[in-house]
Structure formats: structure tokens, C-alpha cells
Structure 1
Amino acid sequence: MIDFKRLRYFVVLAETRHFGRAAARLHLSQPPLSRQLIALEKELGVKLIERGPRGVTLTAAGERFHIDAKAVLAALEQAQTNCRAAAAGTAGALSLGFTMCAAYSVVPGYARRFSAACPDVDVSLREVVSNDLSQRVVDGSLDAAIMFPGIFDRSLTTETIFSEPLCVALPRGHRLAKQRRIRIAQLAEETFVLAMEEVAPKFRAVIDQHCRSGGFEPVVGFEVQLQQTVLSLVNEEAGVALVPRSMSKARLAGVVFRELVDAPCVEQVLVWSRANRNPCLKQFIELVQGAEA
């Protein structure tokens, strides 16, 4: 195995074509530099340089070796840079799971800022049903997840990163569609399209409790897993729904979104495992925490 130090000495000599100038650049005296070049030629079994009164010329083998040696040293330097970046979390890979609500609220902004701050990290974004997200963080198939609060495994850490009010999603031809603001009691006789309790229990509890504050239990027409499905059913006039306000960014021709008076807020949390040692995850958490500060 060739000593990388000798490679560097040879490259500097090849660039300066002079032992004195090369030694000065390397902070050596000439005799040690000369001995290192002789040892390199002996190791390779070829003559790399010709000494002359005006300096050094490269042999044909030396010219070829100069090109390859520079590439090897550049690759070594890049490997060192990559290694340090991976340790710092500014290079590598990060997998982030999220619900559809997060896709319409915080995920695009976080993804854009993180990619700008850490362009050498390969970010994988995966939209997943809410009740599957935390388990995927536990088993390591996701580094982190953005989702509704829930009951999580003890190994997980959670931090609230976003809160927004609910709004009302109505079919465009609904009797209340022309109102700008709607009170929950006005929906007492409506059929609701709701998220399944097992998918997002705390989110569903907020909706049920707000209906009770209006004096009624919601009449359930459909229970579904995804907020997109909720809106699709409202679009087909299968019922009304209470959804996070950010879902109003989902443009469906047959759905209108109206402000809910005294609307309760729903939170989204960042979830990660304390056992996860991915340095890129640490960078992402710090970015999110900095955005919330």
C-alpha cells in the first residue's frame, strides 16, 4: 500500500518541477523529500522523474502517475469531507412520515428549509395513515413523523410543532354554504363524515367534544382513514365535516370551507425515537425547534 504522504510529496514536486520549491511548500528540507521520492519510485518499480540542472522533468510514467495521484488525493479529501458531514448530519439520509393534514400545513416548509440547509441529505417524504406512523418510527423504518397527538410508545419523544383551528367543509350547494361563519349548533341535524377514532383518537375526540358543546352527538354517515377521503365524500354530498383549516388548500370543485365560530384547535406533533442515532435527524429536530422559537 503506497503511503499517501509520498503521493502528496510527488504531486507537489510534479507541480513545482523543482525540489527546492517543493520542499519549501511542504515545509521540509530537500534531503528528506528526495529520500521519499526515491522510496516511491522503488515501491512502484518505475522511474517517475528526471533530475536536471534547471529542475525536474517527469517521465512518461511520471506524467501518468501525476494525473492518477491527484485524483486519489482528491478522492481522499472528499472522503474525509463526506465522513465529517455524515457525522454532523449535514450529509446522509432522512426519512420523514406525515399525515395528509401535515402535507397541507407544515411539511412543505420544513422540507424546503431543511433541503436548503442540508443539500447533501437525501430526504424521503412518506405520507402514511396516522395510526401506522408511530410504529414505523419505533421499528426504525421512519426517522421521524409529523402527525396528530396520540398514545405513543414510551421509547418515543413528541413535541408539538403546529396548532390550527377546525373549519367546516360543506357541499357547495349546502344550505349553509353562503354563510361566512357557522356555529356548531347549526350542524346538529347534519350527517357527518368523520375520521375513524382508531386512526386519530385525539383528533376525533376534539370533534366529538365540540359537537357536544353544541348540544348534540354527531350523526355519523361515514368513518374513514384519510382526510382526503373525508373531503371526497363531502364533494359527493355524502355529509359535512370538521377538518383542520389547512385542508382548505385542497381544492375540490364541490366543497366550500367556512369558518367555525369558537373553533377548537388541533395540534400536530413531531415524533421521534430516543434510540435513533441518525445525525441527520438531530439536524432536522434542531431546524424544527428553531422555526418554533
Structure 2
Amino acid sequence: MDLRSIECFLRVAETLHFARAAEELHLSQPALSQRIRTLEREIGVVLLERNRRGVRLTAAGAAFLDPATAALARGAQAADAARRAARGLQGRLRLGFTVIASYTTLPHAVQTFRGVCPEVVVDLVEINSPAVEEALDRGTLDLGILHPPLERPHLRTRELPGEPLVLAVPAGHRLAEQPAITFADLRGEALLAAPRRIGPTLFDGLVRRFREAGGEPRIVQEATPMTTLAGLVAAGAGVGFVTRGIARATRPGVVFRPVREAPAVPMAAAWAPPGLSPAGARFLEILTAGPASES
């Protein structure tokens, strides 16, 4: 049975007058009568008795009244929920992101999104960039914030501002008081770096900068994520590159210095085809608007 027919029955039951109910429903009286007859045939009982003296509910109609009222209300709620979900205002958003992304404007965007769309449940998953791609491919994430280029080129992406790299050095290190550092200054230094498989483009870019400066990087230990790398720097294991966002989260015993011509970590939002979910699209709008536009 359709909700419109239930609404017609309820209006007649309220007014006990077909002509008045038809006017309120913006229907012709024959069309209203046809809807009631169709509803009665579907249920298999007579709901309304009509005679010259007027209209009255049958026993079956009286029993049908409260459940029909509840069904109409639930139908309206369901329709509203569907419309809100289609606008990205209700539902669930499964968001995956890297450690580096968690030190960008992403947390602020999540906070803003939760304020704008309180009925959307946000699931947050912190994993590395290849794992974000895999999860998007499997359909276990709706949106990912990761580092291109992607291993899965069929995923759709939107470029985000890159994260500049700075050098983390132990306090008291010879470079700690140097305001500007070059790659030539780093020749022979014990270097901590993420494994190439985690970010081949960034890794190769750093190696290229070292070679252009006339040397090779002396990688003494692989470390990931960058927050762990910063901890190893504090312990005196060497120097290493972290993003400017991670550097803002100050760590005792570590000094952060800019390095001339240091590459930036590329950032992008990614999702699986055929398209981004409504909640994901709304979140991406907030993320790309930036903190100044969101406040």
C-alpha cells in the first residue's frame, strides 16, 4: 500500500466528509474515492461506510487508524532521511588518512564537518598511503587522504596542497643553530628516512637532491611514521625530514630547520569510482575550502 492512499484514508477518517477531504488533499472526489476503494481491496476489508447520512469508520477502519497514522509518520521520516542522505547530511562517512595528513588542516575539517552534519557518523582510520588505496578499492573506505602518485590509477583524486619538508636535528647538533641548510650541508650525515616502498616519489626526490649537491644520502635507519622518526632524532640516532605540520607539534630535544630546495610531500583526496558519496563530497568541500573559509 502506498503512503498517499494511507494519507487519503486518514484525511477522510478525520473529516468524515469525502468532499472536504478531497479539497484538502487537492484531489477530485472521484479520485479520492478510487484511492480508498483500492486501499480497501488491498487490505481485504471495508474501512469506511458511506451512506446518505455521511461517512463513518467501520470496526476495521477504527483498528486501522492508529497503525496507519504511525505508518504515515514513519514513511515521512524515511523519505526525509533519504533526502538528507542524498544531500550528505545523514548517513556514514568512512575516512582514511595518513599520519602526515593528521598534521594538516584535516582535523579542523573533521571538526567543522561534524558541526555542519551532526547526523553523519564519521569513522576515522589512520593508515599508510598504500593501505588507503587498498581500502578504497575494497570499498571499506569512502574517502582517503593520501600521497600521490597512486598505485591504482583508476581511483579518482583531487589534488590538495603539498606539505613542505623541514629537517629534524637533535638539539646541540652542528646544524641546529644554522638558520638555512642546504643538501650539501648534509653530506655524510646519518640520515633517517621512511622506506622507499612507503613513498617512492618522495624518496627518489630526496635522493636526487643529494646527488645534485654532489653526494649520496647516508641512510642509517629506516623509520616510519614521521612521528617515530622525530622521536629517533630526539634520541640522537641521526637527522631526518618531517613535514612542517609534524614539526609544529614540538618535541623536546629536536630542532627543526628549513632546507633549501627540499621537496614537499604531495597530498590528495581519493575515492573509488563511480563517484564520491554525498557525505564524502560535502566533507571534501569543507576540506578544500580551508580553515579561513570554514570559520
TM-score band (shorter)?
Answer: 0.7 to 0.9
Q: 24-33 vs 142-151, which deviates more?
A: 24-33
Q: 68-77 vs 270-279, which deviates more?
A: 270-279
Distance in 1 (CA, whole Å) between partners of 2:155 and 2:38 is 57
User: In structure 1, what is the equivalent of residue 145 of structure 2?
Assistant: 146
Change (3 A) 1:171 1:281: same
Task: Give per-residue Cα distances to partners, 1:70-105, cap 9 Å, x unaligned.
Answer: 321121112222333444544433322211111101
The DSSP-based 3-state class of the residue aligned with 1:252 is coil
Counterpart AA for 1:222: Q
User: In structure 2, what is the equivalent of residue 177 of structure 1?
Assistant: 176
Distance apart, 1:44 and its partner CA: 7.5
User: In structure 2, what is the equivalent of residue 193 of structure 1?
Assistant: 192
Counterpart AA for 1:154: P
Q: 58-67 vs 193-202, which deviates more?
A: 58-67
Distance in 2 (CA, whole Å) between partners of 1:37 and 1:149 is 61
Task: Give per-residue Cα distances to partners, 1:223-257, cap 9 Å, x unaligned.
Answer: 02311211121121211111111111333222222
Distance apart, 1:268 and its partner CA: 1.0
Distance in 2 (CA, whole Å) between partners of 1:83 and 1:183 is 56
The DSSP-based 3-state class of the residue aligned with 1:167 is strand
Tell me the C-alpha RMSD between the 2 structures.
3.7
Change (3 A) 1:106 1:34: same
Distance in 2 (CA, whole Å) between partners of 1:141 and 1:227 is 25
Counterpart AA for 1:174: H
User: Normalised by the size of structure 2, how large is the TM-score?
Assistant: 0.77
Does the CA-based 8 Å contact 1:143-1:276 persist in structure 2?
A: no
Distance apart, 1:10 and its partner CA: 3.5
Task: Give per-residue Cα distances to partners, 1:111-130, cap 9 Å, x unaligned.
Answer: 33444554443332211122
Does the CA-based 8 Å contact 2:105-2:287 persist in structure 1?
A: no
Task: Give per-residue Cα distances to partners, 1:124-153, cap 9 Å, x unaligned.
Answer: 221112232222222323233222223522
The DSSP-based 3-state class of the residue aligned with 1:75 is helix
Does the CA-based 8 Å contact 2:5-2:39 persist in structure 1?
A: yes
Does the CA-based 8 Å contact 1:140-1:276 persist in structure 2?
A: no
User: In structure 2, what is the equivalent of residue 223 of structure 1?
Assistant: 222
The DSSP-based 3-state class of the residue aligned with 1:260 is coil
Distance in 1 (CA, whole Å) between partners of 2:50 and 2:174 is 95
The DSSP-based 3-state class of the residue aligned with 2:82 is helix
Distance apart, 1:204 and its partner CA: 1.4
Distance in 2 (CA, whole Å) between partners of 1:178 and 1:120 is 50
The DSSP-based 3-state class of the residue aligned with 1:22 is helix
Task: Give per-residue Cα distances to partners, 1:8-63, cap 9 Å, x unaligned.
Answer: 12433455566664343123466775786688689585878999x9x989899877
Q: 137-146 vs 108-117, which deviates more?
A: 108-117
Change (3 A) 1:165 1:70: same
User: In structure 2, what is the equivalent of residue 210 of structure 1?
Assistant: 209
Change (3 A) 1:29 1:94: closer
User: In structure 2, what is the equivalent of residue 252 of structure 1?
Assistant: 251
Counterpart AA for 1:224: A
Does the CA-based 8 Å contact 1:169-1:256 persist in structure 2?
A: yes
The DSSP-based 3-state class of the residue aligned with 2:134 is helix
Q: 155-164 vs 24-33, which deviates more?
A: 24-33
Distance in 2 (CA, whole Å) between partners of 1:3 and 1:271 is 40
Distance in 1 (CA, whole Å) between partners of 2:33 and 2:148 is 69
- Note if 1:105 corresponds to 2:104: yes
5+ residue gaps, structure 2, are none
Distance in 2 (CA, whole Å) between partners of 1:196 and 1:84 is 46
- Note if 1:80 corresponds to 2:72: no
5+ residue gaps, structure 1, are none
User: In structure 2, what is the equivalent of residue 7 of structure 1?
Assistant: 6
User: In structure 1, what is the equivalent of residue 270 of structure 2?
Assistant: 271
The DSSP-based 3-state class of the residue aligned with 1:230 is helix
Distance in 2 (CA, whole Å) between partners of 1:117 and 1:82 is 16
User: In structure 2, what is the equivalent of residue 93 of structure 1?
Assistant: 92
Distance in 1 (CA, whole Å) between partners of 2:276 and 2:258 is 43
Does the CA-based 8 Å contact 1:192-1:240 persist in structure 2?
A: yes
Does the CA-based 8 Å contact 2:133-2:150 persist in structure 1?
A: no
Distance in 2 (CA, whole Å) between partners of 1:272 and 1:3 is 37
Distance apart, 1:6 and its partner CA: 3.9
Change (3 A) 1:242 1:213: farther
Does the CA-based 8 Å contact 1:191-1:240 persist in structure 2?
A: yes
How high is the sequence identity, in percent, across the aligned residues? 37
The DSSP-based 3-state class of the residue aligned with 1:94 is strand
Aligned residues: 291
